[in-house]
Chains A and B, each alone.
Chain A
Amino acid sequence: MRFWIAAGFALALAAAATVMLKNEYYFFAGYTVLMFVVLATAWNILGGYAGYVNFGTPAFFGLGAYSAAVLFKATAAPLALQLLLAATMSGLLGFAAGMLTLRLRGIFFAIATIALTVIMETLFINWRYAGGATGLQLLRPPPTVPFESYIKMLFVLMALLAVAAVAIARYIERSWIGRGLRAIRDSEEAAECSGVPTLRLKLFACTVSGALMGAAGATMPMYLSFIEPASTFNLNYAIGALASPMIGGTASYLGPVIGAILLSTIQQVVTVTISGEMNVMIVGVMLVVFVVAAPEGILGLFRKFVSSRKP
């Protein structure tokens, strides 16, 4: 219950911000932060709960973005439909990729996911209708009432998506699915022997993870009014999606949220004040530091702090 109250509060805050704040740049930056909350939460379903490190976030994210862009170019469909198609396509990709690669262990799975990203990128580079390597310029329609600007609308939409993603992750974590995934993470062989349907659970996690990443990508083309393969399928999305839960804590649905908000906000501030490269460096350094020194992330540190205080 507390979760839903908090979620409702967060949404109300987002809606209030669109009325109170005038400077569009806050929404521009806020959209990016919320997008990484979705990506990190989605990543954690497969990466944190099941222990399968996925470097292929850009493949799902990019497929979602391009599905939305191509649908818009072909039919000028509204945002809701674009989102639906994006989530479906990326979910299908998650299922297919899962069938192919979830039988591989550890690093092989990770490298296979990088392969997926490059192959998706190459496919879109060669598809002229979607713009090829040159890219596609898109003219977006005016924002729907009651929003006065498109970016505010996207911000609220992304906030809704973030709440939905976290709710889904929370549900999975607390259900028998989550228990099964944790069993897989701790010892896949033992889980198999105990009767856990490992392949089905992994496929489920992969599909849901992919669909959420696709949904996160769906609004990118409208956000930028432009889409091109190199930046859409950029490995930086993989890094952000992976680093946020590693920093925040992979065991619970709160970890990715904390990690994403922290990391993404720092990145936005650094990009505006120092430089774009510096923010990638900061992600890299923070990732290394947390992975070495705080393996359970911020949540883990918090838990240790709380338990050390107990008499």
Chain B
Amino acid sequence: MPVSIANSRLIYDALKACDVKIISALPETWLVHLIRMAEEDPDMTLVRLAKEEEGIGISAGAHLAGVNSALLMQNHGFFAAINPIVSLALLYKIPLLMLISYRGHMGEKDPWQTQGGLLTEPLLRALNIPLWHLTNPADVQRRIKDAQTLALASLHPVAVLLSRELMWED
């Protein structure tokens, strides 16, 4: 499976540098190495979810309890979580660091991912959620740190879109 281990490691190390202690995740192809890294890290609490909505609650709980968390989800998982993003995170000013695999964008071969690819950025913008694209390994550490900094300063969700260029080695 040509998911980049090296770039997954860069992302994971960036989360560690942000003092992230809890990662909630639902597996998807591009996220497999990241989830494995979280699972093998004795200092990380990995919460495998049944549905992404739960992750918004877990991150809200972690924030109110003073712990940094991150969410790993596919863009379709972000769609599944929109109600709690609105009615918990935005309503109660909860910072969220969402790492979203950007399926269905340029280079996508799976037809079933393509509608989601078209709607990811419009929906993030409609929700007024700032977003970073991660395409270049050299940007990973800085952009993830800056995304977390903004989330914590604004008490607002932020999205980091994991691109095919970064995650997939054809």
Q: Do A and B bind each other?
A: no
Residues of B at under 8 Å CB distance from A? none
Q: Which residues of A are at the interface with B, using a C-beta cutoff of 8 A? A: none
